[in-house]
C-alpha cells in the first residue's frame, strides 16, 4: 500500500537577495515523501516551492493541497487529478513518484546528467544590492569560471546599473563573457524602449521580462522593435492554456521555464514543444528551490539537447540547504557520483 508524508522547511538565505520586487531573506518549501508500506526505506521526494507574488498556489494553498493529498494517499483514496491551479504541487508529485519509480535514489530521469554525470552549463546570477556588492559578485563569478552571467536590474539607480555593465564590458569582451539581464518587469512601457536602446550598447545576450506581465500589446511592440533580444518569464505564468496564442502574439526571442510555475514537468515539456514550433529559444531555471527540487530540474534539463546556459546555480543560496551530489564547477552544474544526500530531515 502506498504511503505519503508532508514536510515543511524554511530556507534561510545566506545574504539579502535583492530583486525589483523586494529583498528575500527566507523562503518556505513544502515536500512530499512517498513510499510503499512494504519497503519504507525506498522513498521518493518532491518539492513544492511556490514564490510570493508569482505562484498561484503560494503559501497555505500549496501546503493545504499537499496535506490533503497525503491524507488521501494514506487512506487509499487518492486518484490522479487535474492540478493546473497548483503547479508547484504538480511538480512535487510528478518528481516524487518518478523518484520512487526509479528506486528512491533521487533519480528523476534516467539520462546522461544523472547516469553519465554530463554537466549542464549555467549562468552565474548577480543579485541586486549596493553597487559595491554587485561588483563583488561579478568579480567572484568571473573568477569562478562563469562565461555567462545574469544581472538582476531595476532596483537601484539605472545609471549605476549601466555603470556596472560598462565596468564588465571594459574588462571582458563579448567573445569572453555573455551578459544577460533580468528586469523582473521593472520598466514602464513608456520608458522601456529607451532603456533597451541604452542597454544595447553593452552587447547583451537578452533581457528577461522588461515590463510587468499582463501588458501583452505593449510587450509585443517591444519584441518587434527591441535592439536587445527579449525573454519572457513572468508573462508565461497563468498562460499555460494559451501557449501557442501567446507566443504567436508576442513573438519573443526566448522563453524561460520554471517548472514549478509552468505546470510541472509535463507543463514544461508542452511549453518547450510550443516554443520549438514557433522557432523560439528557451532555457530552464529554478524557482529558488532547495537541492531536492533543483536536482529534479537539472535532470529535466538533461532530457534535452540545449546548449544555452541554464539558470540552475541557486543551490548555494541557503545556509540550511540539504547536502546533495550537485556541484558547480567552472560554470556548469554536475551530479557528482562521489557526493551524497543528507536527507535525515525526512527520516
Residue positions annotated with a catalytic role: 152, 258
Residues 176-212, buried b or exposed e (16+ Cβ, 10 A)?
Answer: ebbbbbbbbbbbeeeebbebbebbeebebbbbbbbbb
Looking at the chain, how many residues does it have?
347
Q: Pick the closest to residue 78 from 58, 99, 105, 96 (CA basis).
A: 96
List of residues 6+ apart from 276 with CB closer than 8 A: none
Quick count: other Cβ atoms within 10 Å of Cβ 228?
Answer: 22
Angstrom CA distances, 16 to 19, 26, 52, 285, 287, stand at: 10, 9, 16, 20, 17
Q: Which strand (E) or helix (H) includes residue 247?
A: helix 243-250
C-alpha cell belonging to residue 20:
525589483
Neighbouring C-alpha atoms within 13 Å toward the C-beta of 74:
11
Rounded to 5, what percent of the chain is helix, strand, coil? 35, 25, 35
**Do 184 and 213 touch, CB atoms closer than 8 A?**
no
Amino acid at each position: 500500500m502506498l504511503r505519503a508524508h508532508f514536510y515543511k522547511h524554511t530556507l534561510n538565505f545566506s545574504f539579502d537577495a535583492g530583486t525589483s520586487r523586494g529583498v528575500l531573506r527566507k523562503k518556505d518549501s513544502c515536500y512530499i515523501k512517498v513510499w510503499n508500506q512494504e519497503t519504507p526505506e525506498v522513498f521518493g521526494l518532491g518539492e513544492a516551492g511556490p514564490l510570493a507574488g508569482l505562484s498561484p498556489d503560494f503559501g497555505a494553498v500549496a501546503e493545504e493541497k499537499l496535506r490533503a493529498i497525503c491524507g488521501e494517499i494514506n487512506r487509499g483514496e487518492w486518484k490522479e487529478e487535474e492540478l493546473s491551479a497548483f503547479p508547484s504541487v504538480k511538480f512535487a508529485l510528478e518528481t516524487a513518484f518518478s523518484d520512487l519509480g526509479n528506486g528512491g535514489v533521487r533519480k528523476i530521469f534516467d539520462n546522461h546528467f544523472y547516469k553519465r554525470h554530463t554537466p549542464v552549463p549555467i549562468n552565474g546570477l548577480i543579485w541586486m544590492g549596493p553597487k559595491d556588492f554587485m561588483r563583488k559578485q561579478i568579480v567572484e563569478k568571473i573568477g569562478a569560471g562563469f562565461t555567462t552571467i545574469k544581472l538582476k536590474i531595476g532596483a537601484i539607480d539605472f545609471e549605476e546599473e549601466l555603470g556596472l555593465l560598462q565596468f564588465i564590458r571594459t574588462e571582458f569582451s563579448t567573445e569572453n563573457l555573455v551578459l544577460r539581464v533580468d528586469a523582473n518587469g521593472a520598466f514602464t512601457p513608456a520608458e522601456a524602449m529607451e532603456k533597451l536602446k541604452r542597454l544595447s550598447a553593452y552587447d547583451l545576450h537578452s533581457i528577461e521580462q522588461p515590463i510587468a506581465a499582463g501588458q501583452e500589446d505593449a510587450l509585443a511592440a517591444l519584441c518587434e522593435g527591441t535592439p536587445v533580444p527579449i525573454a519572457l518569464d513572468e508573462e508565461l505564468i497563468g498562460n499555460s492554456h494559451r501557449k501557442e496564442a501567446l507566443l504567436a502574439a508576442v513573438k519573443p526571442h526566448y522563453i524561460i521555464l520554471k517548472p514549478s510555475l509552468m505546470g510541472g514537468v509535463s507543463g514544461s515539456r508542452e511549453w518547450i514543444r510550443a516554443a520549438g514550433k514557433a522557432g523560439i529559444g528557451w532555457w530552464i531555471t529554478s524557482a529558488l528551490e532547495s537541492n531536492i527540487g533543483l536536482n529534479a530540474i537539472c535532470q529535466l534539463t538533461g532530457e534535452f539537447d540545449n546548449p544555452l546556459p541554464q539558470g540552475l546555480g541557486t543551490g548555494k543560496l541557503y545556509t540550511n540547504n540539504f547536502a546533495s551530489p550537485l556541484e558547480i564547477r567552472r560554470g556548469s552544474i554536475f551530479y557528482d557520483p562521489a557526493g551524497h544526500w543528507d536527507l535525515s530531515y525526512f527520516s
